[in-house]
Amino acid sequence: MSRRDNDESGWLSLWREALLAMSLGWDLAVPIFGGVLLGYFLDRLLQTRYIMTVGLMVLGVGVSYYNLARFIRRMDRADEESEKKLKEKGEQK
Protein backbone atom coordinates (compact mmCIF):
# COMPACT_ATOMS: atom_id res chain seq x y z
CA MET A 1 0.00 0.00 0.00
CA SER A 2 1.40 3.38 -0.97
CA ARG A 3 1.58 6.41 1.26
CA ARG A 4 -1.23 8.07 -0.72
CA ASP A 5 -3.54 5.09 -0.11
CA ASN A 6 -2.67 5.20 3.58
CA ASP A 7 -3.45 8.95 3.76
CA GLU A 8 -6.78 8.45 2.00
CA SER A 9 -7.64 5.61 4.34
CA GLY A 10 -6.84 7.87 7.30
CA TRP A 11 -9.09 10.63 5.98
CA LEU A 12 -11.91 8.20 5.30
CA SER A 13 -11.62 6.86 8.81
CA LEU A 14 -11.63 10.39 10.23
CA TRP A 15 -14.74 11.37 8.27
CA ARG A 16 -16.49 8.15 9.21
CA GLU A 17 -15.89 8.80 12.91
CA ALA A 18 -16.96 12.45 12.55
CA LEU A 19 -20.22 11.42 10.92
CA LEU A 20 -20.83 8.88 13.68
CA ALA A 21 -20.28 11.57 16.31
CA MET A 22 -22.71 13.92 14.56
CA SER A 23 -25.33 11.20 14.33
CA LEU A 24 -25.03 10.73 18.09
CA GLY A 25 -26.43 14.22 18.59
CA TRP A 26 -29.48 13.31 16.57
CA ASP A 27 -29.82 10.00 18.41
CA LEU A 28 -29.98 11.91 21.69
CA ALA A 29 -32.10 14.91 20.70
CA VAL A 30 -34.80 13.45 18.45
CA PRO A 31 -36.38 11.02 20.96
CA ILE A 32 -36.56 13.69 23.67
CA PHE A 33 -38.00 16.45 21.48
CA GLY A 34 -40.26 14.00 19.67
CA GLY A 35 -41.62 12.76 23.00
CA VAL A 36 -42.25 16.28 24.23
CA LEU A 37 -44.01 17.33 21.02
CA LEU A 38 -46.12 14.21 20.81
CA GLY A 39 -46.99 14.48 24.50
CA TYR A 40 -47.97 18.13 24.09
CA PHE A 41 -50.33 17.36 21.23
CA LEU A 42 -51.82 14.38 23.07
CA ASP A 43 -52.37 16.54 26.16
CA ARG A 44 -54.20 19.11 24.04
CA LEU A 45 -56.26 16.43 22.29
CA LEU A 46 -57.19 14.52 25.45
CA GLN A 47 -57.48 17.70 27.56
CA THR A 48 -55.14 16.43 30.23
CA ARG A 49 -52.64 18.66 31.98
CA TYR A 50 -49.02 17.70 31.30
CA ILE A 51 -49.14 14.00 32.04
CA MET A 52 -48.49 12.83 28.49
CA THR A 53 -45.81 15.47 27.92
CA VAL A 54 -43.83 14.49 31.00
CA GLY A 55 -44.36 10.76 30.45
CA LEU A 56 -43.24 10.81 26.84
CA MET A 57 -40.33 13.10 27.68
CA VAL A 58 -39.12 10.57 30.27
CA LEU A 59 -39.56 7.81 27.69
CA GLY A 60 -37.55 9.90 25.19
CA VAL A 61 -34.74 10.33 27.72
CA GLY A 62 -34.70 6.56 28.26
CA VAL A 63 -34.53 5.92 24.52
CA SER A 64 -31.72 8.48 24.25
CA TYR A 65 -29.69 6.70 26.93
CA TYR A 66 -30.28 3.40 25.15
CA ASN A 67 -29.00 4.96 21.89
CA LEU A 68 -25.95 6.30 23.75
CA ALA A 69 -25.16 2.87 25.22
CA ARG A 70 -25.55 1.28 21.79
CA PHE A 71 -23.19 3.88 20.28
CA ILE A 72 -20.57 3.24 22.97
CA ARG A 73 -20.76 -0.53 22.43
CA ARG A 74 -20.39 -0.06 18.67
CA MET A 75 -17.33 2.17 19.09
CA ASP A 76 -15.80 -0.23 21.62
CA ARG A 77 -16.28 -3.14 19.24
CA ALA A 78 -14.66 -1.16 16.41
CA ASP A 79 -11.66 -0.34 18.64
CA GLU A 80 -11.25 -4.00 19.59
CA GLU A 81 -11.35 -5.04 15.94
CA SER A 82 -8.76 -2.45 14.93
CA GLU A 83 -6.46 -3.52 17.78
CA LYS A 84 -6.87 -7.13 16.70
CA LYS A 85 -5.93 -6.24 13.12
CA LEU A 86 -2.88 -4.32 14.30
CA LYS A 87 -1.73 -7.29 16.38
CA GLU A 88 -2.18 -9.63 13.43
CA LYS A 89 -0.18 -7.27 11.21
CA GLY A 90 2.59 -7.10 13.82
CA GLU A 91 2.77 -10.88 14.06
CA GLN A 92 3.06 -11.25 10.28
CA LYS A 93 6.20 -9.09 10.08
What tens digit of pLDDT does each residue of 37-83 get?
999 999 999 999 999 999 999 999 999 999 999 999 988 898 898 88
pLDDT of residue 28: 93
Exposure class string for 1-23: b at 16+ Cβ within 10 A, else e? eeeeeeeeeeeeeeeeeeeeeee
Q: Where are the domains of the chain?
A: 25-92
pLDDT of residue 12: 85
Query: Which of the pair, 71 or 90, is modelled with greater confidence?
Result: 71
Task: Grade residue 89 by pLDDT with cuts at 50, 70 and 90.
Answer: confident
Mean pLDDT along residues 24-47: 95
pLDDT of residue 1: 47
Question: Does the pLDDT at position 5 exceed 60?
Answer: no
With contact defined as beta carbons under 8 Å apart, do 30 and 47 qualify? no
